[in-house]
Amino acid sequence: MQVQDVITAYLNHLTVERGLARNTIASYRADLHRYQRWCQARMIMKFDEITAHDVADFITSLAYPESDGPGKALGAVSATRVTVSVRGVHRFACNEGFAGTDAAQRIAAATLPKRLPKALSYVEVERMLAATQEAIGAPDANAPVLLRDRALLEFLYGTGARITEAVGLAIDDVDLEGRICIVTGKGSKQRRLPLGAPAVDALAAYLVRGRPALAARGRGNTRLFLNTRGAALSRQSAFSVVQAAGVAAGIERPIGPHTLRHSYATHLLEGGADIRVVQELLGHASVTTTQIYTLVTAETLREVYVASHPRALSGGLAARQR
């Protein structure tokens, strides 16, 4: 089979049989199209013509810009993701009989160091929410939009939902009386998330005084969060809402919706929540993904210890007082 045909079959397999999320499929498609262009530039048209040396050469090329295409040089994280995509399509081709051998079998993806999520402190989250509340009371404020923004921020921090899950919510997915919502996560898997009192109050205010005004500008959209034209709020617009709230709160480092998700998980664990419960709330398929947040809380404990204990530093209390 042609390289292009095998890649198409693999993407269909990921979509239909494995049910991967749309954004994940888009990443695989971009990675494998880069691989396809690389093969075409070297006159490799049939998939079973690709050798282990070819795969190794392609992986090496990821550190350099493509000379015959728009691809940029990739960093370690992106290169690792592409390597996983290429290994996957070769394993698929071998299993399906499209290739006699798995040319990528001995290609190992780099092991990346675990990076600690950059969570906000609870004080910083409070400043963000307070800044949004103050803006609502301004005389020239666009109340419907600000009510939406506050509801979105309270929802993201109060549930730990992914931004795609939040903007994909329909009105019927939220039960304010029962303080529960249903989000659809990766692989179209649904989970029920509890809503805290501040999130319920902010959503109620938005649904009564904000959303109707926004909906009147559109054509009957059923999504919970709407933009100024009455259409569904996009991921990019939601990112801008969180970013603007961070600026208003005086948070100097860049933040986004995932920062609130990190903060939600970190604060739960710091408060004593069981890691398995946090895994379910976040919608992680494996507890290993959730365990990275335990590194954050361990680092927090270490910082408190160093700042507070008289024997934490060399020289003890006397060294602190000099």
Q: For residue 172, what are its two tokens?
A: 């019927």
DSSP state of 235: H
CA–CA distance, 37 with 155 (Å, rounded to integer): 42
Q: Could you tell me the CA-to-CA distances from 39 to 65, 141, 259 in Å, in that order?
A: 15, 56, 38
DSSP line for 61-92: HTTS--TTSSPPP--HHHHHHHHHHHHHHHHH
Taking a C-beta distance cutoff of 8 angstroms, is the pair 69, 37 a contact?
Answer: yes
Q: Which helix (H) or strand (E) holds 191?
A: strand 190-194
The residues carrying an active-site annotation are 162, 186, 258, 261, 284, 293
Q: Which of 146, 156, 111, 133 is nearest to 255 (CA)?
A: 156
> In the chain, what's the furthest Cα-to-Cα distance?
74
Taking a C-beta distance cutoff of 8 angstroms, is the pair 94, 102 a contact?
Answer: yes
b (16+ CB within 10 A) / e for 64-86:
eeeeeeebeebeeeebbbbbebb
Residue 170's DSSP bridge partners are 223
- R_g (Cα) of the chain, nearest Å: 24
